[in-house]
Amino acid sequence: MIMAGGAGTRLWPMSRPEQPKQLIPFIEGRSLLQIAADRLEGVVPMERRLICTGRNHLDVIRRRLPEFSDDRLLGEPVGRDTLNAIGLTASVLAARDPEAIFAVLTADHLITPQDEFTRCMTLGFDLVDQDPSRMVTFGITPTHPATGYGYVQLGDRVDGFDGAHRTARFVEKPDEATARTYLESGDFAWNSGMFIFSAASFLKAVEEFAPEAAAGLATIGAAWDGPERETVLADVYPELPRISVDYGIMEPASTSGHFNVCTVPMGVQWIDVGSWPSYGETLDADADGNRTGGPAEFMDSRNVLAVSEDPDHLIATIGCEDLVIVHTPDATLVFPRGRDQDVKAMADRAAGRGG
């Protein structure tokens, strides 16, 4: 199941309610969601791939990814964070197949090389297939002391599964000094937000650690493939408590004796495309560090990212440095590279003007 429900407001003005970031075709003409779906080639057959997204995005996904039939599109009436998106999927799958095992993937990331991703996913499925009480998370081998990611600490190796570790603990986003000690220890990985679960085991974990969500998810799962789906979903889903899967399930499960949490480190290049500077990492730079996503000309400029949604609109800079410029037909955004965290606030302001 690919989670594709985020708003992506830090990629405004291209990311809008009607076209959130996972649907912007700005990676060589493809969207992040399309790339995430294509990544599953050789891992999961097409007929076993699902997307969980906002109900208001279902029509555009049907148009752009017609290979996903309606029975494999899970539409949330409102966003209730990752625990409920995964719980919804687990409830639907468990009702269809009590022995279902499923992967949870994201529509935010670029991951290479493909063969390493495939190897790790196969290992994760094997771990849960042998022992359905296992909960598998995937850790990205860190390349620098990042403070914007959560971390997972690797414990002892899992016997019989080369490359898998027991999970010692999950830790929140650290300060730079702590992140540096994690990097130097070699025992920590970035928390990727990707998992593999037995549907039945995940629902047991919800009952234990988030009981306030368990009954509602069970009710929705029982009704999903019947005529009452929309009524039950509209009545129950908005009342579920908003909570992340890391905080609500993975952290307590890793210290509980009832569940066996494992981590598979992935030796991949992993780009979380959550802001304009991170999108710039997907583009080649010229000799002065300038990057372009559309027509652009630079004069005496360095480290400028220029992105235009209009192939006929030229962005030109003179004497600029460390700027991000994003042009769409109805809005143009310009900010210093270090102010990317403020784009969400500007998107909120623009929404008040109808932008």
Q: What's the pLDDT tens digit per position in 39-96?
A: 999 999 999 999 999 999 999 999 999 999 999 999 999 999 999 999 999 999 999 9
Per-residue pLDDT band at 354 (split at 50, 70, 90): low
Per-residue pLDDT band at 12 (split at 50, 70, 90): very high
Per-residue pLDDT band at 352 (split at 50, 70, 90): confident
CA 38-195-270 angle, 5° bins: 55
pLDDT at 5: 85
Contacts of 10 (CB under 8 A, 6+ apart): 274, 275, 276, 340, 341, 343, 344, 347
Percent of the chain with pLDDT over 90: 92
pLDDT at 258: 79
pLDDT over 90 at 110, yes or no: yes
Please give the model's pTM, rounded to 2 decimal places.
Answer: 0.92
Q: Of the given ranges (149-158, 184-193, 219-228, 253-262), which has the lowest mean pLDDT?
A: 253-262
- Side chain identity, residue 51: I
Helices 211-223, 199-209: inter-axial angle, 10-degree rounding: 140
C-alpha span between 293 and 328 (Å, rounded): 12
Pick the CATH number of 2-272 from 3.30.1360.30, 3.90.550.10, 3.40.50.2300, 2.40.30.10: 3.90.550.10
- Region 238-253: what's the mean pLDDT? 95
pLDDT over 80 at 105, yes or no: yes
311-323: pLDDT as tens digits: 999 999 999 999 9
160-216: pLDDT as tens digits: 999 999 999 998 889 999 999 999 999 999 999 999 999 999 999 999 999 999 999
135-175: pLDDT as tens digits: 999 999 999 999 988 999 999 999 999 999 999 999 888 99
- What does the mean pLDDT of the chain come to? 95
- Side chain identity, residue 209: F
C-alpha span between 77 and 216 (Å, rounded): 14
DSSP H or E segment with residue 184: helix 176-185
Distances (CA, A) of 268 to 100, 163, 318: 27, 14, 37
pLDDT over 70 at 355, yes or no: no
Contacts of 178 (CB under 8 A, 6+ apart): none
Distances (CA, A) of 289 to 55, 269, 286: 40, 20, 5
| DSSP annotation string for 55-111 | GGGHHHHHHH-TTS-GGGEEEESS--HHHHHHHHHHHHHHHH-TT-EEEEEESSEEE
pLDDT at 18: 84
- Region 327-342: what's the mean pLDDT? 95
Q: Where in the chain is the domain with CATH 3.90.550.10?
A: 2-272
Distances (CA, A) of 131 to 101, 124, 134, 136, 283: 11, 11, 6, 11, 42
